[in-house]
Amino acid sequence: MSDVQEHKSPVLSFEEFQAELQEMSRRMDRWFEEQARRSEEQAKEQARRSAELDRWFEEQAKERARWSEEQAKEQARRSEEQARRSAELDRWFEEQAKERARRSEEEARRSAELAKEEARRSEEEAKERARWSAELAKEEARRSAALNRQFAETDRKISKLGGRLGELVENLVASNLSEKFKDWRFFFNRTSLDVVFKNPDGTFLAEIDILLENGSTALMVEVKSKLTIDDVKEHLERIGKLRRYADEHGDARKFLGAVAGGIIPEDVKPFAIKNGLFVIEQSGETSVIAVPDGFVPRSW
């Protein structure tokens, strides 16, 4: 007997073959219908997303236009305020010049009268003149001492006023500052004022006026009543120093910087922005983050 068995393939009849072809045709029709339905759904979804994206771009354009208009109005208001202050200062200088001229004229007149009186007096009045001169010198010394005390008091008041102004600006900037940075996709859950950093041996390292923090980012704000370019440079150095200190002590958070001022001269703001710092300006009774569109903050 042979070890090879003969296998025969089943032979379909014509009717069975035709039925199987029809079944395959129905399956193909259902497959094509399903593909057409999916393509139609995808097209509808694409159209919906495109419409949403168009609405978003339109809303962004309106918001930018509104912001630009508000900035233009604020700039015009500031220019008008600056012109008013300049005019007041000019008037003050003019009044001071007139007052000095009047006093000089009065002093000249009095000097002339005194010289005439001195010429008229006789020699026997020399002792009286000497006594009068001594009293006058004593009175002048008393007035000079009183004037020096007034100057010292004035300096003290100015120094105190400067400190209060700096504190006022700092509190104004810190108010709701973390809320303002939400527009920049920074969500800070902690705000601290006048934060002092020390070395491990207790010596002073740096001080930050306002510190905003979360688990991954720390924003360091320097506040001045009048901001200068030197203030900006010092703050950049301060952040770099704290970055090195953080690296040495395992703090891997990203550091950002910002400067704020009650008064910010025109040349200071672009210098700070060029170096990657946020600029915070006063606007009425609050503060605003004043950087141009497309601004990319520097990170340490």
Residue by residue, what is the 3-state secondary structure of the chain?
Answer: CCCCCCCCCCCCCHHHHHHHHHHHHHHHHHHHHHHHHHHHHHHHHHHHHHHHHHHHHHHHHHHHHHHHHHHHHHHHHHHHHHHHHHHHHHHHHHHHHHHHHHHHHHHHHHHHHHHHHHHHCCHHHHHHHHHHHHHHHHHHHHHHHHHHHHHHHHHHHHHHHHHHHHHHHHHHHHCCHHHHHHHHCCCCCEEEEEEEEECCCCCEEEEEEEEEECCCEEEEEEEEEECCHHHHHHHHHHHHHHHHHHHHCCCCCEEEEEEEEEECCCCHHHHHHHCCCEEEEEECCEEEECCCCCCCCCCC
What pLDDT score was predicted for residue 148? 53
pLDDT tens digits, 42-57: 989 999 998 998 899 9
What's the rounded mean pLDDT across residues 146-170? 46
What's the whole-number average pLDDT of the chain? 84
Domain 122-300 sits in CATH at 3.40.1350.10
What's the rounded mean pLDDT across residues 266-277? 96
Residue 140 pLDDT > 60: yes
What pLDDT score was predicted for residue 287? 84
Q: Which of 102-106, 144-148, 184-188, 295-299 has the lowest mean pLDDT?
A: 144-148
Is this model's pTM higher than 0.85 or not? no
Band the pLDDT of 261: cuts 50, 70, 90: very high
What pLDDT score was predicted for residue 150? 54
What pLDDT score was predicted for residue 90? 87
Residue 3 pLDDT > 60: no
Higher pLDDT, 298 or 162: 298
Residue 243 pLDDT > 60: yes
Q: Which residue has the tokens 């005439």?
A: 116
